[in-house]
Amino acid sequence: MNTTAEHQPLQPEFRLLVLLVSIGFFMQGLDSSIVNTALPAMAKDLNENPLEMHSVIVAYVLAMAACIPLSGWLADRFGARNTYFMAIVIFTLASLGCGMSTSVNELLVYRVIQGIGGALLLPVGRLAMLKIIPRSQFLAAMSLMSLAGLIGPMIGPTLGGWIVEVTTWHWIFLINIPMGILGVFMTIKAMPNITEPTVRLFDFKGFILLIIGMIGLSLGVENFSDPRYSYWSCILLIVIGIGSSLLYALHAHTHENALFRSRLFTNKIYAIGILGNFFARLGGNSMPFILPLMLQVAFGFSPLVTGILMIPTIIGSLISKPIIRPIIQKFGYRNVLLINTLLVGICIASFAFSTAEVPIWLRTIHFLIFGILNSIQFVAMNTLTLKDLPQQDASSGNSFLSMIMMLSMSIGVALAGTLVNIFEDHFGAAQVTTAFHATLICLGLINIITALIFWNIPKETKD
């Protein structure tokens, strides 16, 4: 087959659609990262402890994880345009609610609603592109869209830091409103309302079991350090979460209409990839939360300086992109993931040696190395997980992976916040730096232990 025919440049009639989906991806990516550097300022304004503000991130990410399984069915049932339109409206109105919040509880409610809108933006937008844009131009379209997804997290921490210094934290949410209004009008113009002629019944029972499982696990971990909840109530939540997940596994095995059929996990590589993704991301995904908090609360850096210091991690991620595939082709998935998982764990733990006096150049190199290693980890895990799935399971397998990625981020941030609070109680408020250092060592050890999962990858597994 002719390669030039397979990968053609994007034609003008599809550019507006790609721009629209890129706006949604950008908004989602920006909102996942812009809050991290603003948490201490938000805590001060709302009279809260900055070490207990991780629920603001957890609420958003957990809502996204819970609603990802719903996205494809809604698009098929009500049409891509209607669903995407609804997603942007929900996201934009929730952003307005976040920006006008006067208490943490009010903010959490709107963050959950914002997460529901965010969960639909990328999957539905990607699905619309898949159905409308010819396959020969799809690679070009995805490349442009992915660029928008990189820009959001890249500018998020610095933009968040700058906003809270020149104005108030409310504007980190209010800046979504003009983009949301633009997206609403573009959706009407650029996206056809493609529906599927036959849509299977939605698996509400499985959906509820998954939601209970995710909420139970996340809240159980998050509430451990909250004096309002007893240890037994937290353990009960975790047990309910695990029990609901096991019930879903039984449901997936016996129910024809299950969101994610159990046959997905008969694929050994996929099962290893999912398990590895979940545990390896606990540390890696919590770093954009824990590092800005440490820089501000423990070291006394300003929000803007903190945001600027986070840029090397994103640059490291970009630098690593061209080298990942050649590395995997040369050494194989097993060797790359075994060694890199250990290196990421060591790198996370090594932040425990960081102090306010560390020279900027050394801190920059440290963050850059972490960005490179973490990017290699995520890309290698994702490609390993999906590479051997048969065509009929590709969509379902990808959705489940996306859900696990969000769930791991939710639990990872909750775990990091909980550990900092537990260690602060243990060492005393005057030893907050020690509390952060102990937390980073624990998160690094989790990553190191995760290497045992990747030990099970067959040695001959290649790209």
Q: What percent of the chain has pLDDT over 70?
A: 96
- Helical ranges in 79-134 per DSSP H: 80-99, 104-132
pLDDT in tens, 10-67: 677 778 888 888 888 888 778 878 888 888 889 989 888 888 888 888 899 999 888 8
CATH topology of domain 265-463: Growth Hormone; Chain: A; (1.20.1250)
**Residue 211 above 50 pLDDT?**
yes
The rounded radius of gyration (Å) of the Cα atoms in the chain is: 21
What is the reported pLDDT for 133? 78
Residue identified by tokens 């965010």 is: 118
What is the reported pLDDT for 430? 75
CA 210 to CA 150: how far, in whole Å?
A: 29
- Average of per-residue pLDDT across 428-438: 88
Under a CB-based contact definition with an 8 Å cutoff, are residues 68 and 409 in contact? no
**Residue 446 above 80 pLDDT?**
yes
Q: Hey, what are 30's tokens?
A: 């920006």
Under a CB-based contact definition with an 8 Å cutoff, are residues 291 and 370 in contact? no
Residue span(s) of the chain under CATH 1.20.1250.20 come to 12-199, 265-463
Size (the chain), residues = 463
pLDDT in tens, 139-177: 677 777 777 777 777 788 888 899 999 999 999 999 999
Question: How crowded is residue 461: how many other Cβ atoms within 10 Å of its Cβ?
Answer: 18
What is the reported pLDDT for 462? 66
Does the domain at 12-199 match CATH 1.20.1090.10? Answer given as no
Residue identified by tokens 């942007």 is: 88
314-318 LR contacts (CB < 8 Å, sep 24+)? 314/150, 314/153, 314/154, 314/371, 315/368, 315/371, 316/367, 316/368, 316/369, 316/370, 316/371, 316/372, 316/373, 316/374, 316/375, 317/150, 317/371, 317/372, 317/374, 317/375, 318/150, 318/375
Report which of residues 330 and 370 the model is more confident about: 370
CA 40 to CA 36: how far, in whole Å?
A: 9
- Average of per-residue pLDDT across 62-78: 85
Per-residue pLDDT band at 352 (split at 50, 70, 90): very high
Q: How far is CA 115 from CA 60, 65, 378, in A?
A: 5, 8, 22
Per-residue pLDDT band at 90 (split at 50, 70, 90): very high
- Average of per-residue pLDDT across 322-339: 88
Per-chain mean pLDDT for the chain: 86
Question: How crowded is residue 232: how many other Cβ atoms within 10 Å of its Cβ?
Answer: 8
pLDDT in tens, 171-204: 999 999 998 999 898 888 888 887 777 777 888 8
pLDDT in tens, 259-297: 887 787 888 888 899 999 999 999 988 998 999 999 999
**Residue 2 above 60 pLDDT?**
no
Under a CB-based contact definition with an 8 Å cutoff, are residues 301 and 308 in contact? no
Report which of residues 390 and 301 the model is more confident about: 301
What is the reported pLDDT for 136? 75
Q: Hey, what are 342's tokens?
A: 């250990």
Per-residue pLDDT band at 378 (split at 50, 70, 90): confident
What is the reported pLDDT for 1? 39
What is the reported pLDDT for 6? 54
Per-residue pLDDT band at 445 (split at 50, 70, 90): very high
